[in-house]
Amino acid sequence: MGMKSADPGAGSLSIGAGQATALGNTLLLTPASGKSLRLWYVSYNPATAAEIGFRFGAAGTIWLRNNLVANSVIAKDFKDFKFIQGAADEELYLNQTPAVTTNWTVFYLEV
């Protein structure tokens, strides 16, 4: 995982969004074989208090981890065309404790 700079081009980003409800890891996105997920924006907001963060790979380092009160929002825009990227074939997970309903959104490319 690393942060870099690049211009994705207007309108080229995909949007992923949904809800996670499980304790621990919830699989959010899986890149095509041999590709990596390159993220420009990530956010989450839980319905109740929780500790939440993203990770690349089921056992990867948890990043953007926060302890939140109910209905809080954490959002990270990597700005100025910077991004964070997982390794090839590495899925994106949301990790949370306890099991709560959490809305999530990411803007990404597969590269």
pLDDT at 65 over 80: yes
Average pLDDT over residues 51-70: 96
User: 3-state SS of the chain: helix, strand, coil percent to 5?
Assistant: 0, 55, 45
**Domain extents for the chain?**
2-6+18-100
Torsional sign, CA 47, 100, 98, 91:
negative
Lookup: tokens for 91: 């899925």
Q: Which two tokens stand for residue 92?
A: 């994106």
> For residue 77, what pLDDT band results from cuts at 50, 70 and 90?
confident
User: What is the model's pLDDT at position 7?
Assistant: 57
C-alpha to C-alpha distances, 48 to 14, 24, 73, 94, 109, nearest whole angstrom: 28, 15, 11, 16, 30
pTM for the full predicted model: 0.88
pLDDT score, position 75: 92
